[in-house]
C-alpha cells in the first residue's frame, strides 16, 4: 500500500514543502485531537454503563493506553488491551469489554462507510473522477458493516441460541474448549447491552458523530498549513476513507493503509500536480502528527495508577484451573473470566 501511494510522489518537493509549512496550525490541531480523544474515551463509558458504570478518571488512562496499543501493535492486536485493562471481575469481564469493542467497531464502520459512500456519490455527481478502488472499498465497507449490525442485533435478540450454537460448534473439537468458548460468548453478548438501552445508546451515537467530526476538523487544520484547500465536506470525506483504510489489519502505525486511502481521497479534491508535492507532504505530516499524539498520550497514561499489567505475569506463571462446565443461563454476570 505504501508503494502504491508513493509511486508518483516527488520526495524532493515533499521535503521542501514540509520545511516551509505553516506549523502554527498545530495549535488548533492539538485542540481538536484533545477534544476527540476525550470524546472517544467518554463514549466507551456509555457502552460500559449498562454493564457496570466506570468512572471517567479510570476510563481515560486505560483508553489512552489502548489507543496507543492499537497504533503500535500489528494486525490491530492492540484492540484486546482496553478490555483487558478495564476488566474487574465479576462486575466487568474481559469478554464484556470485547462485546463493547464489537459495538464500537460496527457503529464506527457504519458512520465511516455511510459518509464515504455519500462523499463518493457527491463527487461523481459533480463530474469528479473517483478512483474505482475507492468506490469499491466504500461499497464493500458499507455492505460489511450493515451485515455486522444485523448479526449483532440478531445475536442480542437470540442470545441464548447464539451461545448454545457456539458451545455446540466448539464441542466438535473439545468439551473443555466448548465450555470456555461459551463462557466468553456469554460475556461478549452481555457487552451488547447498550443496544436496547435508549439513553446510553443515544449518548454513544452522539459522541461517535462528534468524535469523527473532530477528526475531520483536525485534518482540515493541518491541510491549511500546507495550503491544501479542503472544505469541511472534503475533510469529512478524507477522514471517512482513511478510517475505512486503517480498519484493515496491517502493520504497526497503519503505515501504508493511511497513505494509500488518504491519497485516493485527495484525488477527488486536489489536482494531480498539487497532490505530488503539497498533498503528499500534508498526508505525511497528518500521519506523523496523529501517531505522535497517540504515542505521547499512551506513554503518559502508562504511569496512571489505573493501568497495570501485573496480571499478565501472574496469569502466565500461575494459569487458572479449568472451571467445570456451567449451565448456559445468561441472567447473571458473576462468573469470572
All cell numbers assigned to 67: 489507543
Let me know: does 244 contact 138? Beta carbons within 8 Å.
Answer: yes
Global pTM value: 0.89
Per domain, the residue ranges of the chain are 88-290
Spell out the per-residue pLDDT of the chain, length 337, in tens: 989 888 878 888 899 999 999 999 999 999 999 999 999 999 999 999 999 999 999 999 999 999 999 999 999 999 999 999 999 988 999 999 999 999 999 999 999 999 999 999 999 888 888 999 999 999 999 999 999 999 999 998 998 999 999 999 999 999 999 998 998 999 999 999 888 888 999 999 999 999 999 999 999 999 999 999 999 999 999 999 999 999 999 999 999 999 999 999 999 999 988 999 999 999 999 999 999 999 999 999 999 999 987 655 555 555 555 444 444 444 444 444 4
Alpha helices in 75-158 (DSSP H): 81-86, 94-125, 132-157
Length of the chain: 337
Beta-bridge mates of residue 88:
92
Amino acid at each position: 500500500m505504501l508503494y502504491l501511494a508513493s509511486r508518483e510522489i516527488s520526495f524532493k518537493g515533499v521535503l521542501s514543502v514540509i520545511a516551509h509549512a505553516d506549523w502554527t496550525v498545530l495549535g488548533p490541531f492539538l485542540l481538536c485531537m484533545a477534544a476527540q480523544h476525550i470524546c472517544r474515551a467518554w463514549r466507551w463509558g456509555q457502552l460500559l454503563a449498562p454493564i457496570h458504570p466506570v468512572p471517567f478518571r479510570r476510563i481515560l488512562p486505560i483508553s489512552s493506553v489502548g489507543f496507543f496499543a492499537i497504533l503500535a501493535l500489528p494486525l490491530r492486536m492492540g484492540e484486546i488491551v482496553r478490555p483487558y485493562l478495564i476488566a474487574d471481575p465479576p462486575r466487568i469481564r474481559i469478554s464484556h469489554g470485547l462485546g463493547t469493542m464489537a459495538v464500537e467497531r460496527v457503529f464506527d464502520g457504519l458512520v465511516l462507510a455511510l459518509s464515504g459512500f455519500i462523499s463518493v456519490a457527491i463527487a461523481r455527481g459533480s463530474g469528479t473522477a473517483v478512483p474505482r478502488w475507492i468506490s469499491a472499498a466504500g461499497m464493500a465497507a458499507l455492505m460489511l458493516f450493515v451485515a455486522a449490525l444485523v448479526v449483532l442485533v440478531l445475536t442480542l435478540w437470540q442470545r441464548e441460541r447464539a451461545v448454545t450454537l457456539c458451545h455446540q460448534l466448539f464441542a466438535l473439537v473439545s468439551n473443555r474448549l466448548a465450555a470456555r468458548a461459551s463462557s466468553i460468548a456469554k460475556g461478549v453478548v452481555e457487552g451488547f447491552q447498550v443496544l436496547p438501552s435508549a439513553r446510553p445508546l443515544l449518548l454513544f451515537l452522539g459522541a461517535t458523530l462528534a468524535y469523527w467530526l473532530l477528526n475531520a476538523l483536525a485534518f482540515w487544520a493541518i491541510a491549511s498549513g500546507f495550503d491544501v484547500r479542503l472544505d469541511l465536506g472534503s475533510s469529512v470525506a478524507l477522514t471517512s476513507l482513511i478510517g475505512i483504510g486503517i480498519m484493515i489489519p496491517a502493520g504497526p502505525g497503519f503505515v501504508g493503509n493511511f497513505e494509500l486511502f488518504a491519497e485516493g481521497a485527495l484525488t477527488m479534491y486536489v489536482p494531480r500536480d498539487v497532490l505530488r508535492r503539497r498533498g503528499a507532504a500534508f498526508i505525511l505530516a497528518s500521519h506523523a502528527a496523529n501517531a505522535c499524539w497517540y504515542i505521547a498520550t499512551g506513554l503518559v497514561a502508562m504511569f496512571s495508577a489505573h493501568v497495570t499489567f501485573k496480571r499478565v505475569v501472574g496469569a502466565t506463571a500461575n494459569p487458572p484451573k479449568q472451571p467445570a462446565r456451567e449451565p448456559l443461563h445468561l441472567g447473571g454476570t458473576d462468573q469470572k473470566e
